[in-house]
Structure 1
Amino acid sequence: MAEKKIVSIEDRIPKLKENRKKKANRRLVLYLSLFFLLIVVILYLQSSLSNVSTINVKGNTNIKKETIVSLTGLSNEDNFWKVDTDAIQKKVNEHAEVNSVKVEKDFPSTISIQVNEFERVGYVQKNGAFYPILETGESLTSYSLSSPGSDAPLLRGWEKQTYLEEMTRELRQLPSSVTRQISELYWTPTEKNPYKIHLYMNDGFEVEASIRNFSENMRTYPSIVSQLDPGQKGIIHIDVGAYFEAYPSSEAEGESSNEDNR
């Protein structure tokens, strides 16, 4: 029968003391690490390193980045961790051309702003200045331009807001490739047809149409023009059915003469 090895208490005590010492040292290292980490965090939060360093703005086309940044009220002196994204979103949404906005924090110090603008569907002229019209039908009377943009037509004669709003809804549904071909769009109502409109196109043609079903009917414009003689100008009617009415020869000559004098 094998003899059991007996370890005396005197032999075990030094090992117990050494294990306790190691455990105590590990605790000390852990406490010191946590302490220094806390100091570093405090110093970071109190230093400029925790401030907002960059404000990224995306999705804006007509609104300048500087305008959006100004609306946020943020600066490089603001603490990154104290920025209230919900409050920033509400501030930016106050701009008339902003449809929606999303604000996010990107570690370590960047604020990202994604903007979705209302589409500009036209421009109106008042007192020598031009003002954008949004897809909502609202005219931005506080935002004047020296000339209308090339992204939407100039709307003239729209004295009643209800018809203007209906027109903007139709323009919104029209492909931008067609919208950009419209130079001027007049409201020309009659007693029998209060929805009658007249368009001047950038390619020299004129169009007579109706506000109602305008976006659907106007989609055929490129196809109609492609079938016409480029040298012959006139009026394209696209209300009930579609047909072309050429200018009288004298009028066509006058138009040609005017173009030569430009």
Structure 2
Amino acid sequence: MEKSKVVSIEDRIPKLKQQRRKKANRRLIFLLLLFFLLIICIIYFQSPLSRVKAIEVKGNRLIQDEEIEKLSGITNDDNIWKINKEKVEKKINAFAEVKDSEVSISLPNTLVIQVKEHKRLAYLAKGTSYIPIGESGKMLKESSTEETPSDAPIIVGFKEGKVLNKMAEELNKLPKEVYNTISEIHSTPKKADAFHINAFMNDGFEVSASLDTFSEKMEHYPSIISQLNPEKKGIIDLEVGSYFKAYEGEGEKEK
């Protein structure tokens, strides 16, 4: 072996000591950082910074923020990391108007509640109050109002049960453009049809129909009224076929 390639032990020892010293320093720095991080975490968890400072509610349009906050049961004294998210979501979802909810944490101390509401399909007129009806046909009595609603049809004469549930089911199937033309729906049961209704439209026409086939036949409503004289109002009968009878009693037309 050539002399130039031979390294004496005396030359290697200082280099080995230097390498070991660097490794030891890196290990010490890592342990110090870990120690200080643990100290910071302990201080954070014991300080007011780990408590809920704010609750942010998103996705709600009909339910007030305060109502959701109250349902969650969370207060500013709660440690944000000790909150049972599933338990909070269960409390919020128990509210009739809430379809679903999701709870998350936004650092450092904000609780975010994402809410998905049930659609209000109609309002039941009861005395001077209007009770919202959800997608399932449930009466949302907690949200009743005395102001005349304009975002959904008003229904009259309905009670909780299969007829109201069927009405909600049928309204939910309607095309938006047809749904928006309905002003009021009255429950007018017959001996042969407990699901019979009379719907009063925003354009002045009246529809006599059965909830069994309501959504199916109302899909053709725009086509039906396009064949009628808009100045001559009357009843459009959709029970069996499609008939129109003017209020003046001028006879019927089959469409």
TM tier relative to shorter chain: 0.7 to 0.9
Distance 1:3 1:118, change over 3 A: closer
Tell me how far apart the structure 2 counterparts of residues 16 and 211 of structure 1 sit (CA, whole Å): 90
Distance 1:188 1:15, change over 3 A: closer
Tell me how far apart the structure 1 counterparts of residues 96 and 160 of structure 2 sit (CA, whole Å): 21
Unaligned runs of 5+ in 2: 251-255
Whether the 8 Å contact between 1:182 and 1:199 is mirrored in structure 2 is: yes
Q: After alignment, is 15-24 or 166-175 more displaced?
A: 15-24
Tell me how far apart the structure 1 counterparts of residues 174 and 7 of structure 2 sit (CA, whole Å): 97
* SS of aligned partner of 1:34: helix
TM-score (norm 1): 0.82
**Identity percentage over the alignment?**
47
Q: Which residue of 2 aligns with 1:38?
A: 38
Tell me how far apart the structure 1 counterparts of residues 104 and 225 of structure 2 sit (CA, whole Å): 48
Tell me how far apart the structure 2 counterparts of residues 212 and 17 of structure 1 sit (CA, whole Å): 91
Matches within 5 A, 1:30-179: 30-159=30-159, 161-179=161-179
Deviations along 1:117-172, one digit per CA (max 9) or x if unpaired, are 22222222334222112222222233320124222222212257222222221112
- Opposite residue 34 of structure 2, the aligned amino acid is L
For the pair 1:7 / 2:8, whether they are aligned, the reply is: yes
Q: Which residue of 1 aligns with 2:224?
A: 224
For the pair 1:23 / 2:23, whether they are aligned, the reply is: yes
* SS of aligned partner of 2:41: helix
Whether the 8 Å contact between 2:139 and 2:160 is mirrored in structure 1 is: no
- Opposite residue 7 of structure 1, the aligned amino acid is S
Deviations along 1:14-65, one digit per CA (max 9) or x if unpaired, are 5554444433333322222221122222222223333344433333232222
- Opposite residue 41 of structure 1, the aligned amino acid is C
Whether the 8 Å contact between 1:131 and 1:148 is mirrored in structure 2 is: no
Q: After alignment, is 238-247 or 91-100 more displaced?
A: 238-247
Tell me how far apart the structure 2 counterparts of residues 37 and 24 of structure 1 sit (CA, whole Å): 20
Tell me how far apart the structure 1 counterparts of residues 120 and 94 of structure 2 sit (CA, whole Å): 17
Tell me how far apart the structure 2 counterparts of residues 70 and 6 of structure 1 sit (CA, whole Å): 78
Q: Which residue of 2 aligns with 1:253?
A: none
TM-score (norm 2): 0.84
Whether the 8 Å contact between 2:204 and 2:233 is mirrored in structure 1 is: yes
Tell me how far apart the structure 1 counterparts of residues 206 and 8 of structure 2 sit (CA, whole Å): 111
How many residues are paired up?
A: 249
Q: After alignment, is 32-41 or 18-27 more displaced?
A: 18-27
Whether the 8 Å contact between 2:138 and 2:160 is mirrored in structure 1 is: no
Distance 1:141 1:160, change over 3 A: closer
Q: Which residue of 2 aligns with 1:255?
A: none
Shift of 1:213: 0.9
Distance 1:174 1:32, change over 3 A: same
* SS of aligned partner of 1:62: coil
Q: Which residue of 2 aligns with 1:207?
A: 207
Unaligned runs of 5+ in 1: 251-262
Shift of 1:177: 2.9
Deviations along 1:215-235, one digit per CA (max 9) or x if unpaired, are 111122222223322222111
Whether the 8 Å contact between 1:105 and 1:112 is mirrored in structure 2 is: yes
Tell me how far apart the structure 2 counterparts of residues 139 and 8 of structure 1 sit (CA, whole Å): 91
CA-based RMSD: 2.7
Shift of 1:239: 1.9
Shift of 1:174: 1.4
Distance 1:213 1:13, change over 3 A: same
